[in-house]
Amino acid sequence: MGDGATKELGFFASLNWSVGLIVLFPLFLFVGAEQIAHCRNMLASFTEQRLVTLADGTRLRPNQLEGKWEEHHARTSWLLWPIFAVVIAVCGAHWWDQVGRALMEWQMGDSVPGWGTAAILAHPTAPNPWPSMAFSFVAYLYQALATFLYWVILLYSVSFAGFLCSLSSRRSTNKFRLVMRRTELTGPLRRFYYNAYAGAVLGLLYATLMHLQTEYVAASSPNIVAYLADGYAKIGAWVGLLADHPEAVVVDKANLAEFSSWAFFGISVFCIVIATHRLDQAMKNAKEFYDHNAADDDWRKRFGFLQAANPNDAKVPYGFLTDIARDWIKLIVVALAILASMVSQLFGVVVLPTVFLATYQLFVRRRSVVEINVVSIRS
């Protein structure tokens, strides 16, 4: 480094690259693939179980609902093109500003030290920059594609939630109806929402790793383990949560990387908030539609309700928090813990245990409950 200090700058020391793109991104692809498959299965089951019908209660034809979804998705997918352009522009600008230009001139200049420019620090007189430029360019291209796919899958969930909300609308122009059948409807929707939330959590964690990397590069710690251990040491002393701990700054933070981490965080939160609102509205519309017509025997017959109306149905608390996001307090705590890790190194070191807890809650425990509910319905 410039002051004679040493710092580990390898690829695996950069957690946003090693953990983020090698570990988190494949996990997110798994979640995204399952979410897409689950959405398509929901469309088929909604038709079969008459959870979605025509406005007069007529059963849908096979693939009719799938066709409606494809039309809806086609109207919103145009957003992917400007997103793709922005992602490529930002990643390309970041590569050139922090890596490409420095390697071309083989001098650090204003570039922030990182794995891409570590060769300059290790070999100040190296004559051939092209191998390092080619490898770093491919790595940044992979990062751009990973980021784009993240937005594609996250927006897919947002679009599908909006589609369900449109099906529940009681406007005269809506030819479909989302029908309230409590157990059959909430089980698939709960799994859909937890898949969407799990994907958002993985994105929030990646944003945290990006932010953590900018903090590490700016700090005086010689390696990433020492940097995290220093945070644990401060947490160990309660007074450390209240007192200011000045630390020597080796370089200024990478402004573009810092901005990218917060942009990633903000867009992830925005998408899950929109998906939550759309699902909540869909549930309210379906409940109001049922309560308004449940006492009409002719309506119940047309929409496939075999049992007589239960006067207590209208009194049953039913909604997003009680039937879909039952663990909403835990979900909020997870999001707040990750936010805390973005604004303080002290909390940054506890984000991994938080995500492990969230993973257990979202992927293991909740999924097992959903599967049990589905089995009980079928039996």
Q: How confident is residue 129, by pLDDT bands cut at 50, 70 and 90?
A: confident
- Non-local (6+) Cβ contacts of 208 within 8 A are 261, 265, 338, 341, 342, 348, 351
Q: Output the pTM of the full model.
A: 0.79
* The pLDDT value given to residue 379: 35
% of the chain beyond a pLDDT of 90:
9
| Mean pLDDT value across residues 301-320 | 62
pLDDT per position as a tens digit, 254-300? 556 677 788 888 888 888 889 988 988 888 888 888 878 877 888 88
Mean pLDDT of the 223-241 span: 60
pLDDT at 378: 39
Going from the C-alpha of 283 to that of each of 312, 322, 368, the distances in angstroms are: 18, 11, 23
Q: Give the C-alpha separation, 120 to 191, whole Å.
A: 49
Q: Is the model's pLDDT at 312 over the cut of 60?
A: no
For residue range 107-122, list pLDDT tens digits in order.
766 666 666 666 666 6
Those residues whose C-beta lies under 8 Å from the C-beta of residue 20, and which sit 6 or more positions away, are 205, 206, 209, 210
Whether the per-residue pLDDT at 164 is higher than 80: the answer is yes
Buried b / exposed e over 127-140, threshold 16 CB at 10 Å, is eebeebbebbbebb
What share of the chain in percent tops pLDDT 70?
66
Q: Give the residue extent of every domain in the chain.
A: 15-378
306, 347 in Cβ contact below 8 A? Answer: no
